[in-house]
Amino acid sequence: MLNIVALCLSTLNINADLRIFAMQMRKIFTISAILLAISNIAMAECRTQSRQEIEAQVNIPKISVQQGALNISNTSDTELIVDVYSITGQLIKRLRVAYGSVVLDVRPGCYIIKCDRWSKKVIVS
């Protein structure tokens, strides 16, 4: 008889422990859902800027490749210093690009165009 009473009491303790555990898990899930919603809102705000708006803020010139030449166009009012590197890291040319465009004749190959806060890889054929 004592064993049955002890079993019933231990079952009640287990049930109480399970209820406490369930309440704690609900709190954790609620907090997780709130944090997820906040992070989704923040990510949505980050995605509202278009690529063109970001490029305008960073002052990225337009780079096009013609046969045997690089065409670098600056549409901003500020002068840019543009470095052209070979794929091996050797500085090929340093250009000052004011408003307008500059054409640089280069051999076919891969080049890295670098300016202030950005860089871009281009392939000239």
Q: What integer pLDDT is reported at residue 93 of this predicted model? A: 92
Confidence at residue 5, expressed as pLDDT on a 0 to 100 scale: 45
Q: pLDDT tens, position by position, for the chain (125 residues)? A: 445 545 544 555 666 677 777 788 888 878 877 877 777 766 665 556 666 666 556 667 888 898 888 898 888 888 889 999 998 889 999 999 888 888 999 999 999 999 877 888 999 98
What is the DSSP pairing of strand 109-115 with strand 80-86? antiparallel
Residue 73 pLDDT: 87
* Rounded Cα–Cα distance for residues 54 and 37 (Å): 25
Burial of 82 (0-12, 13-18, 19+ CB in 10 A): buried
**Which pLDDT does position 32 carry in this prediction?**
78
pTM over 0.85: no
